[in-house]
Structure 1
Amino acid sequence: MENILYKIKSNYEILDPAEKRVADYLIQNMASIPYLPIGVLAEKVHTSKTTIDRFCKKLDFRGYKDIKIEILRYISSDSSGFLSGVDLPQDFENMSLSDLLNFVLGVNVETLLEIKNITTLESIERAINIITKSKCIILVGVGSSAPVVLDLEQRLTRLGLNCCASTDPHFQITRSLSLSNNDSIIAVSYSGCTKDIYDCLKIAKKRGAKIVSITSFPNSPIAGISDCCLCSPTRKVPLPSESFASRISQLAIFDVICAGIYMNKKEKLKDFIKDIEVSMSSKRI
């Protein structure tokens, strides 16, 4: 089940400006929201009660009362205060290296812990089944998602699967055209809105291939076209990176999937893995 913090963040891009002000205030002041009347909240974010109700309905709540109950439940489940929902300390720019270390590691740890709340076992199991049954698997990602698909290519190959990773948009189109209904394509996109990735997924869909995607935005176009979408948590921080925490969570989710594939095929893989170990031993000094 999605927690309220992730639900707000994952739907953020579909909100209008006034609704985004409501979302920002809720994220930054979560502890006080259960005790804040709707009229007071409307004044604080310079909007109307109607806008707040519309915001709640976009998040699939009946109204402000329901969202307050969900926030209270979320806060109560976090007795340590670790999942505070505050992405950025106010004094971020003046942080010492020691504080920066604690902050970055804290964000990564929080992101990993949040995987269990937003990534369902059903979606992981479906991804494992699609990948295991595929005759050929294409992995696509561009930009900061490229290292993730390259890492996954190596791990799936070591599990005896026929796969190929592509980080070039032109080659991705060519490879998508070669797919059939016995194949699958795995797409990695933080935003879920990368046009190059979406274009090759449309081709793969027409060819009958199954689509597995991983994104931090479950309402994105790439999530919508997928047969199986895996949701990865994310935390926005003002560093020169789209979201380093999202890549950590993507790699962790693929770790689970690869472990699941191995458990399903471990008897068949014994000799293959042994051959890999013997062959690779000559590469070490």
Structure 2
Amino acid sequence: MHENVPGPVGSGSQSDTAASDAGHSGDALTATVRGLLPSLTPAAARIASLIVEDPAQVARSTISELSTLAGTSESSIVRTARALGFAGYPELRLALAASAARQAPRSTLTSGITPEDSTAEVIAKLVHTESQAVRETATQLDPEQLAGAVRAVCGGGQLHLAGVGASGLVAQDLQQKLARIGRPCHAHGDSQSALTSAVLLGEGDVFLAVSHSGESRDVLEPLRRASAGGAVTVVITNHPLSTAARLADFVLVSAGRETTFRPGAMASRISQLVVVDCLFVCVAQRTYEVSSRALRVTHAALEGDRVG
């Protein structure tokens, strides 16, 4: 079972960076808070939602003003700030002010798509949102967790991938990429197939699950069974405190954002594919001779097929 699940902001090396430096993007802190939202208490979630929606406003608000805005007590605000890894509300305000200062001015691109938007506006908003998801994923993806997952995937044991719906497409994408560099693996798009494979895994094997929420029953039981059998478990998820994250040995955090016409499953896809690409490239780098030869051979085979 995973012993270093990314905790609240400030609890680990990755989160410390998010809290004190706001990462490479002005949205790093709010992206981290967004990922923790499902795991917070109702009062803390109301405060966190305000942080995600308008960090600049929270940074400008006194503790009494924020208490009124969130409909919570001042003590709840202090507890929430501490849960996010800060000594108190003043420190959280400073971090949010710094984060807001690094962000571009708010514009219509940051709002959801509406029925009145033109086609050009839809394109602009989608491109903005997905570009933002890529940048935020870079701030949330822990290099140490990624390195551990890469070592596991590079091992010689069985490798099974699981994901349902949109997450299943991401698992299939990783399976196809790894197959091109000579790392055989199996991608499962339904719970029964994932479970019957997971129970047969043991030491040296790897089970990797993709789940936006980290709470999908279709992957939780296979994760438990794979872990119980001694396999290394890896999870790609938007929520670092989810059940799946707590079950996994390595957690790779993505940062997709939901909008009006893009529910979680769709919003997570681009950011999950960024994580998959990072994992794949690191595996190919670590197994450079085998991977480069496999890519040459498969490329030549495809080119020959096209010529024929």
Q: 1:150 aligns with which of 172, 175, 179?
A: 172
TM-score by length of 2: 0.85
On the 8 A contact 1:215/1:229 being kept in 2, the answer is: yes
Mapped partners of 1:215, 1:262: distance in 2? 22
Give the distance between the partners of 2:80 and 2:110, measured in 1 at CA: 21
Corresponding residue for 1:74?
99
CA distance in 2, matches of 1:200, 1:61: 36
1:283 aligns with 2:305: yes
Aligned residue number for residue 23 of structure 1: 48
Partner of 1:273: 295
2:37 aligned residue (12, 37, 57): 12
Q: What amino acid is aligned across from residue 150 of structure 1 in structure 2?
A: Q
Deviation at 1:273, TM superposition (A): 2.6
Distance 1:244 1:283 in 2: 34
Structure 1: how far apart are the matches of 2:199 and 2:83?
A: 37
1:179-194 to 2 correspondences below 5 Å: 179-194=201-216
Q: CA deviation digits over 1:40-84, x for unaligned, max 9?
A: 111222221112122222222222111101101212333x337x8
Give the secondary structure class of the aligned counterpart of 2:181: coil
Distance 1:169 1:32 in 2: 44
Tell me if the contact between 2:257 and 2:267 (Cα under 8 Å) persists in the aligned partners: yes
Aligned to 1:160: 182
1:1-285 to structure 2, matched below 5 A, reads 1-2=17-18, 3-78=28-103, 80-81=104-105, 88-89=111-112, 92-239=114-261, 241-284=263-306
Conserved 8 A contact 2:34-2:49: no
Contact 2:59 2:97 in 1 (8 A): yes
Q: Distance in 2 between matches of 1:103 and 1:269?
A: 38
Separation (CA, whole Å) in 2 of partners of 1:142 and 1:54: 36
Alpha carbons of structure 1 residues 21 and 273: separation in structure 2 relative to 1, 3 Å: closer
Shift of residue 240 of structure 1? 5.2
1:252-284: CA deviations, max 9, x gaps? 111122111112222233433332123223432
Deviations 1:92-131 (A, max 9, x none): 3322221111111100001111122111221221111110
Task: Tell whether the 8 Å contact from 2:237 to 2:254 is kept in structure 1 after alignment.
Answer: yes
AA in 2 matched with 1:184: V
Decide which moves more: 8-17 or 219-228: 8-17
Q: Which has the higher contact order (CA 8 A, sep 6+)?
A: 2
Q: Go from structure 1 to structure 2 and tell me whether the alpha carbon gap of 1:281 and 1:36 turns closer, same or farther (over 3 Å shift).
A: same
- In the alignment, the residues of structure 2 paired with residue 124 and residue 5 of structure 1 have an alpha-carbon distance, to the nearest angstrom, of 22
Please tell me the root mean square deviation across aligned C-alpha atoms, in Å: 1.9
1:87–1:185 Cα change, 3 Å: farther
Uncovered stretches (5+) of structure 2, i.e. residues with no partner: 1-16, 19-27
How many pairs align? 281
Q: 5+ residue gaps in structure 1?
A: none
